[in-house]
Amino acid sequence: MKQETAQGVREFSVQLSCTRRGARIARILAAERLRSWEGGFADAEYVVGELAANAALHGRVPGRDLRLLLRADEVTLRIEVTDAQGDRLPVVRRDPYGESGRGLLLVGALADRWGVLPGPGPCKTVWAELTLPGRSRHRVDHDEPGSG
């Protein structure tokens, strides 16, 4: 585990097994860390849970881990989950009668922005950003958000 605090930026990173248990631990650790930061990121636990569960279900490669990164400043929390299946990109399913596939719809509803970054190597990182209530964001994103 890694935590750094520099110039108002808080960061937490942990590497876990890319399994259902690892995804559950990612959600628990994120919830604990975010409570300690007292940043008002109430929806972030759900976003972490969905991204980590997707990594465990769709991004698992035997012997490879997932990585969770939380980075917060005064305005924004960025959540990143990296897995080892760079060729399996997330897909937003809109079937209201399907038994699964609505996790990214939840991420899209709770996050202000989300997207996918390729690499390094055979990996991919699915990220989401949440803006604190009552704060404004001035920078412009260049990633392609939420296209799935």
- Across the chain, the runs of DSSP E, i.e. the strands, are 2-6, 9-17, 65-72, 76-83, 113-118, 124-131
In our burial notation (b when 16+ CB lie closer than 10 A, e otherwise), range 15-37 reads ebbbeeebbebbbebbbebbeeb
Tell me the per-residue pLDDT of 20-64, one tens digit each, with 9 for 90 and over: 999 999 999 999 999 998 766 779 999 999 999 999 988 888 778
Tell me the residue ranges of DSSP E strands in 91-131: 113-118, 124-131
Q: Per residue in 56-102, pLDDT tens? A: 988 888 778 899 999 999 889 999 999 987 777 777 766 666 666 67
The pLDDT value recorded for residue 24 is 96
pLDDT of residue 144: 45
Q: Which of 84-98, 101-115, 132-146 has the lowest mean pLDDT?
A: 132-146
User: What is residue 61's predicted lDDT score, i.e. its pLDDT?
Assistant: 81
Joined tokens for residue 16: 């876990």
